């Protein structure tokens, strides 16, 4: 998760540039999806066997795309007054119920097909 200090730095960066006016649920969620797509581009046509080498060779570029997603998600959570840590904890509890270890361990099956 992003620390409170880093979140405040991100919010100050945005405020100094007067970018809040461009940020809302639609624009930020769209931007998150676009940045996630840029992350996916690194492996779009790669085989699974190629992934470790790609991750090593493109580590910095991949890290930048991950950072872009995290920055935008931080803005969105802040603007919607979503406590990201609490939301993740609640989702983890739900996922634990949907994916009990005895059914989900070692399989990639969706919860409704377990």
**pLDDT by residue (tens digit) across 18-40?**
999 999 999 999 999 999 999 99
- Supply the pTM of this predicted model: 0.91
Of the listed ranges 8-17, 58-67, 95-104, the least confidently predicted one is: 95-104
pLDDT in tens, 36-91: 999 999 999 999 999 999 999 999 999 999 999 999 999 999 999 999 999 999 99
Residue 110, pLDDT above cutoff 90: no
67-106 burial, b for 16+ CB within 10 Å, e for fewer? ebbbbbbbbbbbeeeeeeeeeeeeeeeeeeeeeeeeebee
Q: Distance between CA 32 and CA 38 in Å, rounded? A: 10
Domains and CATH numbers, the chain: 1-82 (1.10.287.1080), 83-114 (no CATH)
């Amino acid at each position: 998760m992003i620390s409170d200090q880093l979140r405040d730095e991100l919010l100050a960066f945005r405020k100094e540039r007067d970018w809040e006016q461009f940020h809302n649920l639609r624009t930020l969620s769209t931007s998150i999806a676009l940045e996630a797509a840029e992350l996916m581009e690194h492996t779009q046509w790669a085989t699974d066997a190629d992934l470790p080498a790609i991750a090593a060779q493109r580590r910095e570029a991949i890290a930048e795309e991950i950072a872009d997603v995290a920055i935008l998600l931080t803005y969105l959570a802040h603007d919607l007054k979503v406590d990201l840590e609490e939301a993740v904890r609640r989702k983890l509890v739900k996922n634990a119920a949907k994916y009990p270890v005895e059914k989900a361990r070692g399989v990639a099956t969706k919860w409704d097909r377990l």
